[in-house]
Structure 1
Amino acid sequence: MSAAAALWIALLVDRLWGEPPAALHPVVAMGRYLGWAGKRLPQAPAAAFTGGALAWCVGALTVGALAAALQWAVLAWLPGWAAALLLGLALKPMLAWRMLRDEVQAVETALGQSLEAGRARLAMLVSRDVAALDAGTVRESAIESLAENLNDSVVAPLFWFLVAGLPGAAVFRFANTADAMWGYRGMRGGRDWEWAGKWAARADDVLGWVPARITALLLGPPWAWRALVAQAGRTASPNSGWPMAAMALHLGVRLRKPGVYALNADGRAPQASDLARALALAGRTVLRVAVLGGAVAVLRWP
């Protein structure tokens, strides 16, 4: 019951208080390590790949070991209620539903002020160039980010928590952060990440493979599985297309990255009401994850 209670406590704390201060946030610490290590990776392809892989492994092993030590201490020395409480508090920083919801809602709020304000707010959420986007494509990008990050920020960390406890959630969050910072093709931040970030990108693909499909099943209409499979394969990523395609099919809208892909291309352009519907659908999905995850935890660790 400690695992189930910890999962629910983590989601409750996230809903009520959101993110902990940056000085206490373990994901911020992961980012600092990755930023420090990234600046020191070599440029030559073979050396860059080897250095990136080694730096990733050192970081992941450190994060996993610290999480395992904390989990062992909590479960070994504390009564059940206290263990569940502290484990839930330690799990909370590995997920970020409230922050994701608020950031996506802020895009629509900014669009209500002006297109420029909407673009500026979206730029805080995505890595693509937003300068040429109109209001419709700003909403498309916001809904895409909501769907993709619902997996990365909620479903996948909780999936790995159920599989491998707190170390599983922590290592996934490290891998996802590393992919966000290193997993680029070509130039970014003054250096070429093609080889230096390849290990980080592939590790995130592997760890996110199953959760992305679970997210799609929880998001998408169950009668549209064939369409979901066909649409998900239109993106270059093996994972992000699944929750994005599920969201597009469920809402009946098109989601696209101009010149790269279009999901549910025959759908309508998203309106303000569609972004609100997307947030409501994502919220229901988080609730489903809480119920199903709690049931799995109870069955696995009665």
Structure 2
Amino acid sequence: MTVTAAAAVGAGFALDVLTGEPPTEAHPVAWFGKLVAPVDREWSHPRLVGALATLVLPVVAAGVVGGLVFLLGRYDTWVGVGAAAVALYLTTSLRMLLREGLRVIRLSETDEGAAREALLSLAGRDASDLSAGQLRSAAVESVAENLADGFVAPLFAFTLFTTVSLPFAAAAAVWVKAVNTLDSMLGYRSKPVGWAPARLDDVVMWLPARLSALLIAQAARQPRALLRARYWLSEVPSPNSGWPMGAIAAVLDVRLEKPGVYVLNAGADLPSPQKARRGIQVVGSAALVAVLYAGVVAWL
């Protein structure tokens, strides 16, 4: 089990690095989004509907994938390993995240209008009045936050459950991704149906957000970044996203801000193109460290 689990972790990461995201129409996360979409409307009891969707839909998605990995593993052990690796690959995202972050930074130097358009793939905020520095800030913030949401959280769940079996590991990663997808689609204050998805996502992301901050500090070889980040956590409405964003702000010694919502490291300047690119590089290195740790844990 140790060799196969480590192989699944390594193969899942390699698939992302080599191929990036599948086309949207062929991506299972997009298919799951189609299951969630009918929930996103007015209900007479929205919180109850949201709670039921939060309980049922992630479990269904996890059960389907875990069952498929189990059946393929019964047919052939290494086919099952491959299926588990694909599940991990489809629930994590790194190459596209880093690429889109770098694209916003590059465009912020030459075409701010195009940078505002490109930012839509990373951050759901109004970019119409953002300066070049604020665009780079948004890119760095989003990449750091998504390290936790879109990479460390499913990888952590997968690795944790390799101690049980690869089908359980794949199911765990899918469940975490499904919870995060529900939150990203429904978890807004303007949507009462999103109360349960948002609260569950807060719980699920508690540890991955803090692990991501640790990984960022380790990748940058700046352990004190975590101490600095703690002073800014109260600025961020989310109980979790402030950790990785604060860590990268401290590592780069830059000001990161979402106008009207929060400011991290207010005494510093907004990211220059050079510092913003270094931030993306640090996040990529942090992800690699996470994979190495996951491989070791799976092996053990």
TM-score (norm 2): 0.91
- Aligned residue runs from structure 1 range 181-192, under 5 A: 181-186=185-190
Match of 1:84 among 68, 71, 81: 81
Partner amino acid, structure 2, of 1:12: A
Match of 1:3 among 5, 9, 20: 5
- 8 Å contact 1:245–1:263 — kept in the other structure? yes
**In 2: Cα distance, 1:26 partner to 1:228 partner:** 35
Tell me, yes or no, if structure 1 residue 18 matches structure 2 residue 20: yes
Corresponding residue for residue 189 of structure 1: none
Q: CA deviation at 1:110?
A: 2.1
- Listed as ranges, the gaps of 5+ residues in structure 1 are 187-192
Deviation readout 1:188-230 (Å, 9 max, x if unpaired): xxxxx0x210001011111111010000001022123332222
Deviation readout 1:231-290 (Å, 9 max, x if unpaired): 223211011000000000011111111222111112222011012101110111111011
Cα distance change of structure 1 residues 226 and 111 upon mapping to structure 2, 3 Å threshold: closer
**In 2: Cα distance, 1:68 partner to 1:257 partner:** 39
- 8 Å contact 2:249–2:256 — kept in the other structure? yes
Tell me, yes or no, if structure 1 residue 134 matches structure 2 residue 138: no
SS in structure 1 of the partner of residue 193 of structure 2: coil
**In 1: Cα distance, 2:158 partner to 2:79 partner:** 18
Tell me, yes or no, if structure 1 residue 107 matches structure 2 residue 104: yes
Tell me, yes or no, if structure 1 residue 273 matches structure 2 residue 270: no
**In 1: Cα distance, 2:229 partner to 2:23 partner:** 39
Corresponding residue for residue 170 of structure 2: 166
- 8 Å contact 2:106–2:273 — kept in the other structure? no
**In 2: Cα distance, 1:283 partner to 1:23 partner:** 27
Tell me, yes or no, if structure 1 residue 31 matches structure 2 residue 29: no
Tell me which moved more, 86-95 or 137-146: 86-95
**In 2: Cα distance, 1:224 partner to 1:245 partner:** 8
Q: CA deviation at 1:21?
A: 2.9
Corresponding residue for residue 206 of structure 1: 203
- 8 Å contact 2:58–2:175 — kept in the other structure? yes
Corresponding residue for residue 232 of structure 1: 233
**In 2: Cα distance, 1:54 partner to 1:254 partner:** 40
- 8 Å contact 2:123–2:142 — kept in the other structure? yes
Please tell me the root mean square deviation across aligned C-alpha atoms, in Å: 1.4
**In 2: Cα distance, 1:22 partner to 1:223 partner:** 40
Corresponding residue for residue 54 of structure 1: 52
Partner amino acid, structure 1, of 2:299: V
Deviation readout 1:40-66 (Å, 9 max, x if unpaired): x50x4xx10001111222211211211
- Aligned residue runs from structure 1 range 215-254, under 5 A: 215-220=212-217, 221-254=222-255
Q: CA deviation at 1:162?
A: 1.4
Corresponding residue for residue 69 of structure 1: 67
- 8 Å contact 1:172–1:207 — kept in the other structure? yes
